[in-house]
Structure 1
Amino acid sequence: MSSERGKDIAEGSSRVNPPGDPQQTPSRYESQKRRDWNTFGQYLKNQRPPVPLSQCNSNHVLDFLQYLDQFGKTKVHLQGCMYYGQPEPPAPCTCPVRQAWGSLDALIGRLRAAYEENGGSPETNPFATGAIRVFLREVRQGQAKARGIPYKKKKKKPTQGKGNDESSSTIHFS
């Protein structure tokens, strides 16, 4: 990597390589999606017996998400913990660390897209089932209670009518 390219990255430059450039680097999202897809594929191969992707279902996805908890960094207080429901506990405790809900939600979004990009049908996408949505909702609610942080659904701000504020430099997309 040239020092100029490194400088562009460090400064947040959005310079893009010309189309057809063999050294064109994928976006951060695309790179992460490929890593996630490869990790999930490796997880399926390591199952006993190995699970072919064509036979993967939402139970395999749920097992994978629970497997990932061992690598989490978010402290989730158990109901019997004296710090349960406290957003900033004053001292450490022995409660487990887990994957944060937001990380799991983003991971499922990337895997859902990768599944279809790799030839999977939207109708059979194991990452898009109701069981996965329920699991993510339960994780979000459980972590919110354990950490004393209420998750409230954000209300959409009303969009301004076109041309109402000529001095505004904000662009509203609908």
Structure 2
Amino acid sequence: MVLPTVLKRKHSLKGKQLLPVIRKLRDIQDAHGIKQLARTSSARRTENMSNEDVLKAVEDLTGENGTELLELAGKDPNDEDFAKLLLHVCILHANEKGQPEGQDLQDPELGHSSATTADREQGPTCTSNSRKATDKDQDSNGGKRRKLQDSTTEVKDKDGTQIQQGESLDLVKIDKRIKELNDKSSSSLSKRKDTLKNSLNFFLQLLRKDCTISNCTPDDLKHFLVWKDDFGKTPVHRINCTFLGTKELGSCECPRRLAAGTVSVMVQNLSEIFYESGRGKFWDERSDTGNPAAAHCIKQYVKLIQEEQAAAHVVPKQAKPIFLGKIKRIASYIDNE
């Protein structure tokens, strides 16, 4: 009996390139062609997981939205079998490419890194030199503690912080705090931008093998926007459709598009992506250089989308307003509690 593949400990695809995963899933045509799927743990069969649990496991493993990854691979986001195949492919790729970064071993009694095998074979002199070199490089190793060596018995900083001689500096705690702040800075907006950038890279490679963000043109970008528009869920009814002016999907054959507001925000995010890639903020029509998202044809495309949906009586979604009287009642209720 062949044992199932299980996700290796501490392996992850967060921050890794997911294009190989999307390509591999795109090449799979038969959702039932794989007899035994890879698992996140040995006791949890992927075949028995619900679609919601599968997509959550994909997001925990990759840091990306599983539904969007399925759309990029050209698969139906509502197909549970392909969602499980996505998790299967992610686990296989994580076991191959998602290993955690290595860390130096530390001898808790000596307070420095252990000597390498080559150092031990070369003898005590080489080992001693290796330990001295390791002590000098200790400040750059994030997972260790180091001693503050000072000729004075006490150091007082400008803010009043006092450091006693021989007091240890907890770099593990400092690094943990830095990681905590970095995690907070990675908001949902930046994650959406990263997903959009991955989608653009994927599409440009399908469009032309030599097409990248650095040489993408406004026409290439317009093709990308039309391609993304096919994944929309907003019904845009035609003038002669009986469902015109309603939000119902109905039984008509009217297309489903991205909302005009979504397209406008997407173009803004694309402009920021190109700017961060070094292509500036503006597009020069004479030299055909600069930021393609700022080109006139892209602005005209957004305007046409807005006019089309306005003619179809598509009403933009708005947050429900909350008035001062409700706020006062809520505040009064909290005070009474």
TM range (shorter): 0.5 to 0.7
| Correspondences of 1:78-89 after superposition (within 5 Å) | 78-84=238-244, 86-88=245-247
The answer on whether the counterparts of 2:235 and 2:247 sit within 8 Å (CA) in structure 1 is no
* Map 1:1-174 → 2, pairs under 5 A: 21-23=178-180, 24-25=182-183, 26-84=186-244, 86-88=245-247, 91-123=250-282, 124-147=290-313, 149=315
Partner Cα distance (1:90, 1:47) in 2: 31
For structure 1, list consecutive stretches of 5 or more residues without a partner in the other structure. 1-17, 151-174
The structure-2 alpha-carbon separation of the partners of 1:27 and 1:19, relative to structure 1 and needing over 3 Å to count, comes to farther
Give the residue type in structure 1 aligned to 2:306.
Answer: R
Q: Is the 8 A contact 2:270 2:293 kept in 1?
A: yes
1:87 to partner: Cα distance: 3.2
Aligned partners of 2:306 and 2:222: how far apart in 1? 15
Task: For structure 2, list consecutive stretches of 5 or more residues without a partner in the other structure.
Answer: 1-174, 283-289, 317-337
Q: 1:67 to 1:22 in 2, by over 3 A?
A: same
Moved segments of 4+, more than 4 Å: 88-91
Which of the two has higher C-alpha Rg?
2
Tell me how many residue pairs correspond in the alignment: 132
Describe the shift of the 1:22–1:129 C-alpha distance in structure 2 as closer, same or farther (beyond 3 A).
same
Call closer, same or farther: CA 1:22–1:141 in 2, change over 3 Å.
Answer: same
Would the alpha carbon gap of residues 112 and 50 (structure 1) be closer, same or farther in structure 2, given more than 3 Å must change? same
More strand by share: 2
The root-mean-square deviation of aligned C-alpha atoms, in Å, is: 2.4
Q: Counterpart amino acid of 2:266? A: L
Q: 2:41 aligns to what?
A: none
Post-superposition shift, 1:109? 0.8
Report the 3-state secondary structure (helix = DSSP H, G, I; strand = E; otherwise coil) of the residue aligned with 1:78: coil
Q: Higher relative CO (CA 8 A, sep ≥ 6), structure 1 or 2?
A: 1
